[in-house]
Structure 1
Amino acid sequence: MVSYKEVQASNALINDVTAPRVAVFVGGTSGIGKFTIRALVATGASVRIYLVGRKSSEERMHAFIQELHAINPKAEVIWTEGEVALLAETKRICEAIKSKESRVDLLFLTAGYAPFGTRTETAEGLEIAQSLEYYSRMLFILHLLPLLSEAEAPRVVSVLGGGLERATIDLDDLDLKKPGNFGGVKAQMQYVAMNTTTLEKLANDNPNVTFIHSWPGSVNTGNVRRGSDPNSMWAWFVWLILEPLIGLLAFSDEESGQRHLFQSTSAAFGGRGVPWKGKLGINSLEKPADGLFLVNYKCDCTPNAKVMPLLREKALGKIWDHTQEVLRPYL
């Protein structure tokens, strides 16, 4: 475990030289994304942050942006409105960023929620949680890779469930459209495995970019009840039991933000970033090198050595081909 004091000491080294000068936060209007933005701004470094969120969050986020400016006048936070569950919107946002920036240092992806409700599709025919947690995230990465490649220590962080992959992914129904195939833990684990498998391919193809798939552990973001029927048994279970339990066991908002800022900046992962004198992290190939890092809530690397070889051998090709087919109209 990387102690909280070690995390804080590393983050204290973030300055105008070591900070991610241009960062894109997708899902930063609440939860871990918001906590991490606050932690980054509080370093006092000169940064420009694109904060991507839905129209319904705009008024609340303007107040947050004013708060951030008071904390650090050198930080520029740009509200970027868009419904990223729609891939056409994701493309539009990426094109807008590419028209303004020549580089991106950090792409931080947290949009999504636990798919424990009924299956609901976007206007583009994708299940909403899967679009948010997988397709939209991969589309952001693919669009912004040229700008990430121009940075000195570029990093992509996808917060979902790195290290929790299972080999039971349904390769015959990747989008879980068959009757009775969607929902609950199965859907979440499907999206986790798809994230990791594709992120590892992207990391192998782009060794100049550090990729992290983070499992944040217990953080009280409220997303566990999003998408569920408020009158369902599940919603009552969440309200009466699960959320109080999460609140009891969860990291504080501040510690979660600090730990994810560490993951976003420290040379502990891939050797690029804020100097790190501790033990280097091990990537998903079980090597102390660049690539994809599966990082848990303790900031430990968890390569999931039993499952990853099976995903590479049996799932990678099908997932990548299917992903290209879905994303092709939006690239």
Structure 2
Amino acid sequence: MADPIPDQSGKLAIVTGANSGTGKEAARGLAGAGARVIMAVRTPAKGEDAKAEILTDHPGADIEVRSLDLADLTSVKDFTDSLIADDRPIDLLLNNAGVMMLPKRYETADGFEMQLGTNFFGPFALTLRLLPLLLKAEAPRVVTMSSGNQAPIDFDDLNWEKDYNANGAYGRSKLADLLFSRELARIAKARGWNLLSLGAHPGNASTSIFDNGKQYGDEPILAIRIAWRITPQHSAAAGAAPMLYAATRPDVVQAGYYGPRFNLVGKPAPAKVSKRGQDAQVAARLWAEAERLTGVSLPEA
């Protein structure tokens, strides 16, 4: 069992992919700790079902479902525009949503490879668009979900147009997430922002993420699915715990990275950052490329 979540009363939290898996458990934890939670989901009907389930556990919780498709930058803009119109400071942004190991190469609405687009470019644009509201909060935090599976960034074929590999594409998107969290931390420090940017990974959590391909009519890659099933696992709630630790604990540090204590399973603890994840030059180049490709840039200093 993870330690209790500190009181989050008065805080506004946004959790992407909150209708299932680690996202739903993170939303449940934050709502139970008193935060107002916006569940940002691609399918609002599924979000409403998850909301009803959470309200069964926490009848007084303040939860709202809003539509967000991270594979469509227009949807990201519409979502962020609605929050900017509300003009309420955002205390916590949990970049949790993701797709995994799609057997074939698919593209987002904007022409990105689907895993990189959903897992990295979408959250990148979302975070940068929400920075003005995050910086209005007293002690804002952005937590971006990475993974123990990380693959190199190939800037010559960033979107896998030459030779697609399902595992490599997922690993690249997750290394991009870790690099993004660390580069945002560096920028926050350089600009004197009171914003913590942190990374997390869920270990081997029992969720439905391997079924992502079914929405395109594909079956998950059998060998990968079998390997996942026979590897030590923990629950979706345990997988969400490192993300919640990063989002709420007072002892976290800027650019910190958190995961299960025993890597695949266990209570949340500081995690080792891979050598690739520490490459500041690649992080800066990836950030510049993401700004160019998404058309979304940092707000003026």
TM-score (ref. length: structure 2) = 0.85
Aligned equivalent of 1:54, options 30, 35, 42? 42
Aligned equivalent of 2:29, options 39, 43, 55? 39
Match of 1:109 in 2: 95
Contact 1:213 1:294 in 2 (8 A): yes
Match of 1:177 in 2: 161
Q: How does 1:259-270 map to 2 (within 5 A)?
A: 259-270=242-253
Distance 1:177 1:61, change over 3 A: same
Aligned equivalent of 1:14, options 1, 7, 14? 7
Match of 1:302 in 2: 271
The whole-number CA distance in structure 1 between the counterparts of 2:211 and 2:165 is 13
- CA offsets 1:218-256 (integer angstroms, 9 cap, x no match): 111121232267666x544456x245425xx22123333
Distance 1:183 1:48, change over 3 A: same
Please list every run of 5 or more consecutive structure 2 residues that lacks an aligned counterpart in the other structure: 262-267
Distance 1:94 1:15, change over 3 A: closer
Q: How does 1:169-208 map to 2 (within 5 A)?
A: 169-178=153-162, 180=163, 182-207=164-189, 208=194
The whole-number CA distance in structure 2 between the counterparts of 1:221 and 1:67 is 17
- 1:70 Cα deviation from its structure 2 partner: 3.9
- 1:157 Cα deviation from its structure 2 partner: 1.2
- CA offsets 1:21-71 (integer angstroms, 9 cap, x no match): 10111111111000111122223x2x221111123xx33332332333343
Contact 2:183 2:284 in 1 (8 A): no
Match of 2:287 in 1: 320
Distance 1:267 1:124, change over 3 A: same
The whole-number CA distance in structure 2 between the counterparts of 1:25 and 1:140 is 12
- CA offsets 1:72-104 (integer angstroms, 9 cap, x no match): 344221110232210111111011011113200
Q: How does 1:175-254 map to 2 (within 5 A)?
A: 175-178=159-162, 180=163, 182-207=164-189, 208-227=194-213, 235-237=221-223, 241-242=226-227, 244-245=229-230, 249-254=232-237
Amino acid at match of 1:106: L
Amino acid at match of 1:125: G
Distance 1:152 1:330, change over 3 A: closer
Distance 1:222 1:164, change over 3 A: closer
TM-score (ref. length: structure 1) = 0.78
The whole-number CA distance in structure 1 between the counterparts of 2:222 and 2:171 is 23
The whole-number CA distance in structure 1 between the counterparts of 2:68 and 2:36 is 18
Contact 1:112 1:133 in 2 (8 A): yes
The whole-number CA distance in structure 1 between the counterparts of 2:145 and 2:218 is 29
Q: Does 1:147 align with 2:122?
A: no
Please list every run of 5 or more consecutive structure 1 residues that lacks an aligned counterpart in the other structure: 271-289
Distance 1:312 1:231, change over 3 A: closer
Match of 2:265 in 1: none
Match of 2:16 in 1: 26
Larger radius of gyration: 1
The whole-number CA distance in structure 1 between the counterparts of 2:160 and 2:22 is 27
